[in-house]
Structure 1
Amino acid sequence: INMSSIQIPDKVKSFLQLGGNFSLPVTNRTNLTTEFIINFQNNLRKLPPEKRIAVRNRSIGIINSIPSYQYPRTKTHNLLLHLNKITNDFLNDNQNLIIIRADKGNITISLDKDIYIRKIEELLKDDETYMVVDRNPINKLISNLRGLLMRWKNNNYITQATYRSLSYSEGSLPRAYGLPKVHKPECPFRLIVSSIDGPLYQLAVFLHKIMIKDFPSAHSSIENSFELIKKLNNVQLDSDYKLISLDVISLFTNIPIDLAVDSVSNRWEYIKNSTDFPKSEFLLGVKMVLNSTFFIFNNIYYRQLYGTPMGSPLSPILADIVMQDIENKAL
């Protein structure tokens, strides 16, 4: 969908409609090897430390074979490469045009860059939720993380391998971006924060894996709409009953941190079976993640003032258990 002020040629449109995940033919094997190694290393960090060496050793042969592999070239490949060049040239000539995906559905959107930035900055002007910070806080975050991990290692709560996997030496502050809600009137934007390369991302993943192992599901939990239909299939309701659906607006930014910590603390009987941490140290790790709500947009540093951090792997499970507790109290 072209929502920009720029007329986009049909060939460029057809290429952009393929989407960001479409795999193009390989043209530069040197770059391919480098990109493969980078992506491989990023995904390797998701594995348990004790399995990484074996997986890395098995990858050596694959990496060495990349430069000599004979990639097929067909008319389709040549057409895709031609369209790719046309599209890149067009985008280079139109620097104010950005291409993003829609919030829902497999839809590619083109927007004027200045309008996109203005809409995101309007969201960030909510001074009850966000504030501008003067300097990049990443060094302080790294220092606090290093101190916590060093204490955990010295007290044998984590192994040396885990210490290395959770440590952070290079990367960047989480970055914010927006996705247009084309299915809603006036096309509002959803603010997204990507923390994958952030300093506390691996710590959040580590804590999440511990919590997810033994947490019981809520009695009201359902997997999808099909399961809901199955559960309601034989339920008889009076004519004056109504089935309603409730939604929480901006869920993560509306979860109070103290409630999130309390919800974790109240489930310690489940967590303690999956970790060597004492309760106090585990909660310190959770609090560190919850208080690391810094991100950057358009070269400006922000801090999220309220709620669990957007983009953190820990936020979904914390939001879930807080909502469980609220539901239990309400019912």
Structure 2
Amino acid sequence: MIGFRQRSSDRKYGWCHRSNVIDLFSHILPSSPIVEVASTLQPKHFSYLTNGPKYVSPCQSRFSNGTIDKIILREYNHIIQSFEKGLTKNCISASDQRAKDFFTDIENLLRRLHTNILPPKLLARAQYEHRIMKSTRRQLKKSNVIIRITDKSKVFHLGSVQDYHEKALQYMQDTNAYREITSGINPCHDHVQTVLALIDPMLKKREINLELWKQYMRPNPMTTELAHLYFIPKPHKIGTPLRPIVSSIKAAATAVSHFLDLLLRPMFNRVTKETTFINGIDFVRQMESYRDSGRLLPTTLFVTFDVSNLYTMIPRDGAIFALQKFLYKYAENRRVHGMTIDTITRLARLVLDTNCFVYEKKYYQQIRGGAMGSPFTMTLANIYMWEWEYPLIEHQKMHNELYGRYIDDVFMTTNLSIDQIKARLNIAHEQDENIRITCTIGSTVEFLDVLVDNNQGQLKTSVHHKPAAEPYILPYLSDHPRHTHRSTVKSQLLRAARLCSHVEDFDRERLNIEFILLLNGYPPKFIAYHLKQFFRKNNALSMMEELDEVVYEELHRKLLYQSTRRERQEQQQEVIITDGNPHENSNNNDIFIHFTFETGPMLKMNTQPSQVGTAPIESITMETNSEGNLNQILPDELVILSQSSIQLNMTNMIPSQVPNIPNPTITHQNLTEDELRARRREARRRQRQRRAEPRRQARAPQQQQRNQQRQERRSEGRRRRERYQRWQERLAERRQQEYDDSPRYEYRSRWERRRETI
């Protein structure tokens, strides 16, 4: 039997369909792109960009450069691979006849759904958005503009390439964390050899835990690429500074960085559990525990401070020393999962030594801190901060006060005077020249997404919205499964109920949530229904009629101490690392299949179990994945320079749209001007072929029909010529026969006739 996750019927509850909401909410803009440069974009282009990075246009496969056969084959292979793994886990061969028949039914269903005609209204909307997207690409190519996603508000930011270039160079000069490789040689090949020279002997001697190490973590010389640097704007700060991000997905030591993070982060979390905030919910839990223990007094002050440029300012040698000290102190028998401290230290140095990247066609090495984007960087920075904050933690314990940190943001409670706590913070500030802090002291402070207030010894917490935050969530018109929109409403209400300690604050936040949902195109009936479902599920339906403090207190306490999804994931990760058997308690008869979601005929993929026959397994659940978001489907090249001295570089593109860096393992050859022109001509020819391919595919049915008609005309002409030739032959034979049968006179010469006459 196959179980599919079905969508709720919109008409059953009187909800508006997405296509019906377009005209109703198209004039409402939940968030606008932040524009700091002149461009040629028109209002319709800005209106399209207001959908935000999360927005997914409908029916993208209908406008894909690939053929329908390729799309179907990709989806089919993805689904079949999941099925084969599940069948193998259940001791069923994929070559079984039942499995083969089932796979055939899946392929037929995919082909039928992908080739069905779209409804006219949906097709018109998809075509319009596709034209707007292509027009946006063309307009951006005409301007000296760079587009990015902002750091906090998560909306689009349009800025000048010249401005980005100047700020990037200024950041490098201020931090002194980067050094240019003056030789001009791509270091990627050397990095691969360095990593392999260290990893292979360790694997051979079993110095690395083989249960955590996976085969794909070994770098492949043919697919490894050098990292590249790009910047994310922070428009909520004065001057719109930039945050550097090193994209090292295919770098040589990225897998080693993942391995170290997987190895050390659970250990660090266990050691620092009492002084680490997981998120805002965990912060509220510890604050209420602090209050319930009787330590919150009317004179209690709250202290928050953040560390500037933590990742790039920590010294490398100091970070390695802090790592060794941490492992010597907390590692059992000076080993972590059977690995010695020396082995871990060598791997950590390897990650830091190979931290190189390309920026504006130049190669750089980071000589301070770690790359923001490398998984191990956060763990190493946390360990370095743990070494720095340990005296401050002991000071707080001695005064029976609360201390907690979330990466580079710290929260403390104190009953000392303001002068005394400032003096203690000055000592911490001068403790390490690499750590610079900016503090705030008061009875009401903001920490993470929580506003905490000490009102004469009464604790009050509520949701804090940063000034840079935009009223933007996943738009209702986005091509996502309906359960995603339901989860959006539920998650917003859960967050409000967990963070707000008083019913008035919760009611105010509920109204704010409804306003944000309306701005993002959610129908009022949809919002009202799921709001009622939220209260009914949590046995607090009376709150829709009257704000009851007692009922809300029970609701708040119940939801606050429920495990969040992140906490469940971390617990599961610890079980995997500790036991090495993540599927011990899972049902082996369950197979979870993910397929690409798309509005239109593909909606029937998970609502027609009868179309795919019967699988040789008891329970199968099919889930959906949305297509790429607006950030991923925007132009391949969002920036083109018009009469500018700055050349096109890696930071001028969204990270997912960075051009491929040539494989450094291939020996570089200096090309002549003629060879370069020949390569450019060949590239342009291939580009024309790629652009013409969709048109050829669109004209293929008509061309095939014309060829068939031409062939039929040729065959008919051949048959006519053959009939005419046979008629000519029969006519010649008949004439010859008539001639032979006609009477003839005997031929006599003139002399014979004359002689007879005489």
Q: Which TM-score bucket, shorter chain as reference?
A: 0.7 to 0.9
List aligned pairs for 1:243-254, cutoff 5 A: 243-254=302-313
Give the conservation status (yes or no) of the 8 Å contact 2:175–2:313: no
Match of 1:138 in 2: 188
Give the conservation status (yes or no) of the 8 Å contact 1:145–1:200: yes
Cα distance per residue 1:172-210 (max 9 Å; x no partner): 222111111111112111122111221111111012111
Q: Distance in 1 between matches of 2:356 and 2:129?
A: 40
Q: Distance in 2 between matches of 1:289 and 1:195?
A: 11
Q: Out of 272-281 and 10-19, give the one that drifted further.
A: 272-281
Q: Distance in 2 between matches of 1:275 and 1:12?
A: 54
User: Equivalent residue of 2:302, what SS?
Assistant: coil
Match of 1:167 in 2: 219
List aligned pairs for 1:118-197, cutoff 5 A: 118-126=166-174, 128-134=176-182, 135=184, 136-158=186-208, 162-169=214-221, 170-197=223-250
Count of matched residue positions in the alignment of Structure 1 and Structure 2: 313
Cα distance per residue 1:76-109 (max 9 Å; x no partner): 2122112112112212333x21211111112111
Kindly state the Cα deviation for residue 214 of structure 1 after the two structures are TM-superposed.
3.2
User: Equivalent residue of 1:243, what SS?
Assistant: strand
Match of 2:282 in 1: 227
Match of 2:468 in 1: none
Give the conservation status (yes or no) of the 8 Å contact 2:230–2:244: yes
Q: Tell me whether 1:110 sits opposite 2:172 in the alignment.
A: no
Counterpart selection for 1:285 from 334, 347, 367:
347
Letter in 1 for 2:193: S
Q: Tell me whether 1:328 sits opposite 2:390 in the alignment.
A: yes
List aligned pairs for 1:297-312, cutoff 5 A: 297-312=359-374
User: Equivalent residue of 2:35, what SS?
Assistant: coil
Kindly state the Cα deviation for residue 282 of structure 1 after the two structures are TM-superposed.
2.1
Do the aligned partners of residues 267 and 65 (structure 1) sit closer, same or farther apart at CA in structure 2, a change above 3 Å counting?
Answer: farther
> Cα RMSD between the aligned structures?
3.4
Q: Distance in 2 between matches of 1:31 and 1:214?
A: 49
Q: Distance in 2 between matches of 1:143 and 1:89?
A: 43
Higher relative contact order (Cα pairs below 8 Å, separated by 6+ residues): 2
Counterpart selection for 1:236 from 296, 304, 307:
296
Q: Tell me whether 1:79 sits opposite 2:141 in the alignment.
A: no
Kindly state the Cα deviation for residue 212 of structure 1 after the two structures are TM-superposed.
2.4
Do the aligned partners of residues 298 and 72 (structure 1) sit closer, same or farther apart at CA in structure 2, a change above 3 Å counting?
Answer: farther
Kindly state the Cα deviation for residue 120 of structure 1 after the two structures are TM-superposed.
1.3
Give the conservation status (yes or no) of the 8 Å contact 1:149–1:163: no
Give the conservation status (yes or no) of the 8 Å contact 2:45–2:136: yes
Cα distance per residue 1:130-163 (max 9 Å; x no partner): 2111222111111100111211222133559834
Show structure 2 runs of 5+ residues with no match: 1-33, 395-758
Structure 1-normalised TM-score? Answer: 0.82
Q: Distance in 2 between matches of 1:307 and 1:195?
A: 15
Q: Distance in 2 between matches of 1:106 and 1:237?
A: 38
Q: Out of 179-188 and 61-70, give the one that drifted further.
A: 61-70
Do the aligned partners of residues 19 and 111 (structure 1) sit closer, same or farther apart at CA in structure 2, a change above 3 Å counting?
Answer: same
Kindly state the Cα deviation for residue 114 of structure 1 after the two structures are TM-superposed.
2.2
User: Equivalent residue of 1:100, what SS?
Assistant: strand
Q: Tell me whether 1:317 sits opposite 2:317 in the alignment.
A: no
Give the conservation status (yes or no) of the 8 Å contact 1:210–1:271: no
Cα distance per residue 1:232-262 (max 9 Å; x no partner): 34142353x5311111111111222233323
Q: Tell me whether 1:267 sits opposite 2:327 in the alignment.
A: yes
Q: Tell me whether 1:23 sits opposite 2:46 in the alignment.
A: no
Give the conservation status (yes or no) of the 8 Å contact 2:41–2:140: no
Kindly state the Cα deviation for residue 12 of structure 1 after the two structures are TM-superposed.
1.1
Give the conservation status (yes or no) of the 8 Å contact 1:182–1:188: yes
Q: Tell me whether 1:93 sits opposite 2:142 in the alignment.
A: yes
Give the conservation status (yes or no) of the 8 Å contact 2:36–2:159: yes
Q: Distance in 2 between matches of 1:317 and 1:72?
A: 51
Match of 2:738 in 1: none
Q: Distance in 2 between matches of 1:251 and 1:238?
A: 34
Counterpart selection for 1:214 from 246, 250, 267:
267
Give the conservation status (yes or no) of the 8 Å contact 1:309–1:315: yes
Letter in 1 for 2:343: E
Greater Rg, structure 1 or structure 2? 2
Q: Out of 274-283 and 67-76, give the one that drifted further.
A: 67-76
Q: Distance in 2 between matches of 1:292 and 1:190?
A: 21
Q: Tell me whether 1:256 sits opposite 2:325 in the alignment.
A: no
Q: Out of 292-301 and 158-167, give the one that drifted further.
A: 158-167
Q: Distance in 2 between matches of 1:311 and 1:271?
A: 32
Give the conservation status (yes or no) of the 8 Å contact 1:173–1:294: yes
Q: Distance in 1 between matches of 2:188 and 2:107?
A: 33
Match of 1:48 in 2: none
